[in-house]
A and B are shown apart, each in its own frame.
Chain A
């Protein structure tokens, strides 16, 4: 499902070059649940951004669901993200002026679905994450764990092939974190979603089928 081949990512600031990923290779099978770990600055989030198609490698190939994101233009990348990737942020990043259902419905505005169909799918996604009774609640009326579940519903509502999560439990208490991880396991197990998760938390990483450790832009195992 994900195949990173000799991926290099270099950030340039003035004359200075910062090599974040250095010839990295990574393969993630379909329906796999992978955790990426490593110290700050090791390139975890950069790798996640490349897989999600929100950034492009300096060199190498990042093939996700059969598409090499390195070859896509800006508009094609946006369409790629819309169809193939669900992104779960550490800080949920829900739109505060929209209620839970409207937040979940947001990616569906890019489809040709009718208003009723969009609503129905959003409510279904909220049901999957166990928040169908919070559909009309605004983010400020939800707990951190509930907000993250709404964010997960938003990530899965378009039925993407890959879910990428950037420290999804990083801003949650232990109990909420456990609930979120259980939900992600469910999505992986029952809905066959391929999940790539960046985390600092070893307990969260234990939920994954595979753990990879990054250090100075290369995988150590």
Chain B
């Protein structure tokens, strides 16, 4: 510690260069922490999916529907416990109804508060989702009212909605629209979750009776996907194959997979996100390593005489090497701390800025936050980068002979 003031004074020698180097390091750790947090959150969402649930969708694409008649046939497959039809409603708050449209604006939709909403067969769906905990009286009220909906605690907190409140949603999907305007919903239930038993479960979600959508749109609606609960998770592969085999000679072939794989396929739509994000992280890290190493090399070269003086005064080569490495690590630590703070800041902004928050929520990432493990890894990365960048110049200082360095004065 007694060398710390000495190191800090050296960092201030060329404050502009030091500042740029620290900022480069901060950017690196900022990107590392932010990207890793996104990946960790995605993984958390995927891990929250039950191994007992399968999803059957159109084998061509999720955007194509499946016949409603498939429900009974899927239910008949050995190992299937229950089946629930579901349609992604794609509804958002209509601005005019909510009184948020500006005068003369052509906008009818308030996208800034978008949240996921699903039309489902409520009874089987909620039976296979123990994550969503609804008080019994509210559950009964939900089933009794076709306009009724269940909202997660987060939605309730966000909009201040409570049982009995009414709101309107209008879908961006044409076949989910009705001619007489937006759908009216009545909050009948607010569901919570147990974060210990079901970590990663998001309550930023709204569920309503699929019959309401079906009847309001003229009974032309098909099934978006089928959620299938199976009796034994060990037989997921076998049951999936059996379901798909049922429809392999039909016009609407199916693709059945675990709910986790289904959720992961959304992520995969953007390519191999993990590979992409990690690739960016590694490229940036390596670049910053070169930048810091270059800075330290220049700093050591500029200080050849001082290194000679230190050795003349009795500092051993190891001590001089240690000072150079410590200076580089110090740059890493300061930059790392700034990067972590920056990452924390951007995550706060992302999860609080109205438009972005809704997008994250729609992607299931509303819980995006900087985890302690990621902070630890980020700081360790910064220390490692500082160390690695300082080692080569430090070795030069270690090996340098006093007489050679003094001769260059």
A→B interface (CB under 8 Å): 49, 52, 54-55, 74-75, 78-79, 81-83, 87, 89, 91, 93, 95-98, 102, 106-107, 109-110, 115, 154, 158
Contacts and interface: CB of A to CB of B under 8 A. Distances in A.
Contact of A87 (B9, B305, B313, B319): B313
Contact of B314 (A81, A93, A95, A97): A81
Given A79-B314, A87-B312, A91-B409, 15 more contacts: A54-B403, A78-B314, A78-B317, A81-B314, A87-B313, A93-B305, A93-B309, A95-B306, A97-B9, A97-B12, A102-B9, A106-B310, A107-B314, A110-B314, A154-B313
19 contacts: A49-B403, A55-B402, A74-B316, A75-B318, A78-B311, A78-B316, A78-B317, A91-B409, A93-B306, A93-B309, A97-B12, A98-B6, A98-B9, A102-B5, A109-B2, A109-B6, A110-B314, A110-B315, A154-B313
Helix, strand, loop or mixed for chain B's interface?
helix
Given A95-B306, A97-B10, A54 B402 contact: yes
Nearest to A155: B313
Nearest to A158: B314
A82 B314 CA distance: 4
B301 to A, nearest CB: 16
Helix, strand, loop or mixed for chain A's interface?
helix
Interface residues of B, number: 27
Contacts of B311: 54, 78
Contacts of A79: 314, 316
Interface string B1-45: 011011001101100000000000000000000000000000000
Given A54-B402, A110-B315, A95 B309 contact: yes
A97 B2 contact: no
A17 to B, nearest CB: 17
Contacts of A110: 313-315, 319
B313 A106 contact: yes
A95 B314 CA distance: 15
Looking at A78, A82, A109, A158, the one whose CB has the most chain B CB atoms below 10 A away is A78
Contact of A55 (B2, B3, B12, B403): B403
Nearest to A164: B312
